[in-house]
């Protein structure tokens, strides 16, 4: 697991290096370059010693190019990095006929000055989570001249033309970028994935849960996933182009009907994406309009329009009925909020505050300043193995631990790094529950 936290985003990536009984090989990394911060994921469809070496070479070459060649346009920089890497691998395997790259795929993202660009080739995908929905950012080549799909992977041709996002993606605070290998792309469960991303758990925990979910769904899969969460951005209006959802098995000729969705009007659509659409789409639109008009008429005729004049029927109210009508209705009795009891926890060797937060959802400040825990830490608040701590789950951001007050300690309240946890937050919470 690779994790980093910078001023404007948090990075977490996980790749399973492969096991003898499984096929596949994946690698991922994130690093800073003169072209911007790079997020790279390389995956292979075959697991052997040669292929393992090629995935390592691909990651190294992409980093080498981005650190030594500067391009003013991050779209061009990302695409050139893949083209250079493919040419390098092609020349490398040309010298050794026994080394043949098979299904070597890659996606490279560059983030610079609030803009994000993606370039990719092969069986990989990129998605953007906007807080409510996952939008695909990658699509297939519209006219891939592939005989045996040779130009669809790294290293099989001396020159390649990677797919690149049109314009630039501009995320806003709270957006999450996901870069995935083939297995993760095909096994995404959007509802379950959305619930995991929306949870207040640390980013690395979310990556681990999603990859575990994918491996459980598809036995033997080698899931690789990179997740980037954005915050502290000055951008107020996001911009991106949504591509067609990932379906690697579809014939490449069908991709020229890709449906492009734009969130803002100031982004140019990818040239050619809407070419070749059939004229039957107009007929379908007319059909939908007629169907909508029919439904509106039925609602009006059945529920609103009444051709008969209303007949007034005098009401008969007995004294008992009048008393029942005038009697005030009892107020609904709501159960009192529950303040959960502290949970006893014995510190184990190797424990960290991040691990304890992942288990209980309680920031370290609340645990250190909890009266029963006085004198049970090191001088600088470090954990001491063997000490029994009382975890105040009343300050937990997890619903299962703190069902009535978990929203008061969500990641939006305490901060992505618990930087807001302190006396002020504790005092405002105590004033709230005392009312």
pLDDT per position as a tens digit, 192-213: 888 888 888 898 898 888 888 8
What tokens does 433 get?
A: 């529950």
Q: Which of 262, 285, 307 is the last residue of a domain?
A: 262
Residue 124 zone, left/alpha/beta (φ > 0; ψ -120 to 50; rest): beta
Residues 254 and 349 in one domain: no
Residues 190 and 68 in one domain: yes
Residues 191 and 101 in one domain: yes
The answer, yes or no, to whether residue 320 has pLDDT greater than 60, is no
Q: Given pLDDT bands bounded at 50, 70 and 90, which one contains residue 85?
A: very high
pLDDT tens readout for residues 218-248: 655 677 889 999 988 888 888 888 777 666 5
Q: Given pLDDT bands bounded at 50, 70 and 90, which one contains residue 253?
A: very low
Is 385 domain-assigned? yes
* Region 142-170 average pLDDT: 70
Residues 95 and 212 in one domain: yes
pLDDT at 326: 54
Q: How far is CA 101 from CA 18, 53, 155, 220, in A?
A: 17, 10, 6, 22
Residues 240 and 370 in one domain: no
Q: Which of 216, 237, 262 is the last residue of a domain?
A: 262
Residues 247 and 104 in one domain: yes
Residues 179-202 as b/e (b if ≥16 CB within 10 A, e otherwise) read: bbbbbbbbbbeeeebbebbebbbb
Is 226 domain-assigned? yes
Residues 165 and 40 in one domain: yes
Q: Which of 212, 228, 262 is the last residue of a domain?
A: 262
The answer, yes or no, to whether residue 330 has pLDDT greater than 90, is no
* Region 287-293 average pLDDT: 91
Domain of 186 in residue numbering reads as: 2-262
Is 153 domain-assigned? yes
Is 325 domain-assigned? no
d(CA 385, CA 297): 72
Residues 362 and 251 in one domain: no
With 0.85 as the threshold, say if the pTM is over it. no
d(CA 349, CA 47): 36
H-only helix segments in 218-279: none
Residues 54 and 195 in one domain: yes
Spacing of C-alpha 217 from chain mean position: 18
Q: Given pLDDT bands bounded at 50, 70 and 90, which one contains residue 66?
A: very high
Is 104 domain-assigned? yes
Q: How many CB atoms lie within 10 A of CB 96?
A: 9
Question: Based on the structure, what is the number of domains in the chain?
Answer: 2
CATH code of residue 67: 3.60.40.10
pLDDT at 140: 56
Is 202 domain-assigned? yes
pLDDT at 21: 47
The answer, yes or no, to whether residue 292 has pLDDT greater than 60, is yes
Is 218 domain-assigned? yes
Query: How big is the chain, counted in residues?
Result: 435
pLDDT tens readout for residues 400-420: 999 999 999 988 889 888 888
């Amino acid at each position: 697991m690779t994790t980093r936290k910078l001023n404007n985003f948090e990075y977490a990536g996980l790749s399973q290096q492969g096991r003898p009984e499984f096929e596949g090989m994946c690698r991922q990394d994130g690093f800073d370059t003169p072209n911007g911060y790079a997020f790279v994921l390389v995956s292979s469809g075959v697991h052997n010693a040669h292929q393992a070496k090629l995935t390592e070479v691909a990651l190294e070459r992409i980093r080498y190019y981005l650190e030594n060649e500067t391009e003013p346009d991050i779209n061009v920089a990302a695409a050139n990095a893949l083209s250079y890497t493919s040419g390098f691998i092609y020349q490398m395997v040309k010298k050794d006929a026994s080394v043949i790259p098979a299904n070597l795929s890659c996606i490279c993202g560059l983030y610079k000055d609030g803009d994000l660009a993606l370039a990719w080739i092969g069986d990989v995908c990129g998605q953007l989570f906007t807080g409510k929905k996952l939008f695909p950012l990658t699509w297939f080549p519209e006219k891939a001249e592939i005989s045996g799909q040779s130009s669809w992977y790294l290293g099989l041709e001396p020159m390649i033309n990677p797919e690149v996002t049109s314009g630039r993606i501009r995320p806003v605070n709270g957006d999450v970028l996901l870069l995935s290998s083939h297995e993760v792309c095909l096994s995404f469960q959007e509802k379950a994935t959305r619930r995991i991303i929306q949870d207040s758990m640390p980013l690395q925990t979310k990556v681990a849960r999603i990859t575990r979910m994918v491996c459980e769904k598809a036995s033997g899969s080698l899931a690789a996933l990179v997740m980037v969460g954005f915050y502290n951005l000055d951008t107020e209006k996001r911009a991106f182009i949504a591509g067609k959802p990932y379906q690697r098995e579809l014939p490449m000729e069908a991709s020229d009907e890709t449906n492009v969705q734009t969130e803002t009007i100031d982004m140019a659509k990818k040239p050619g994406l809407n070419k070749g659409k059939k004229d039957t789409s107009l007929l379908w639109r007319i059909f939908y309009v007629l169907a909508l008009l029919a439904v509106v008429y039925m609602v009006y005729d059945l529920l609103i329009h009444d051709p008969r004049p209303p007949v007034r029927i005098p009401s008969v109210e007995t004294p008992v009925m009048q008393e029942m009508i005038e009697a005030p209705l009892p107020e609904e009795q709501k159960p009192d909020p529950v303040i959960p009891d502290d949970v006893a926890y014995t510190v184990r060797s190797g424990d960290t505050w991040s691990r304890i937060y992942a288990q209980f959802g309680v920031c370290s400040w609340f645990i250190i300043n909890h009266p029963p825990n006085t004198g049970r830490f090191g001088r600088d608040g470090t954990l001491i193995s063997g000490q029994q701590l009382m975890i105040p789950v009343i300050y937990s951001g997890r619903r299962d631990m703190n069902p009535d007050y978990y929203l008061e300690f969500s990641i939006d309240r305490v901060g992505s790094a618990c930087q807001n946890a302190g006396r002020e937050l504790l005092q405002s919470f105590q004033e709230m529950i005392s009312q």
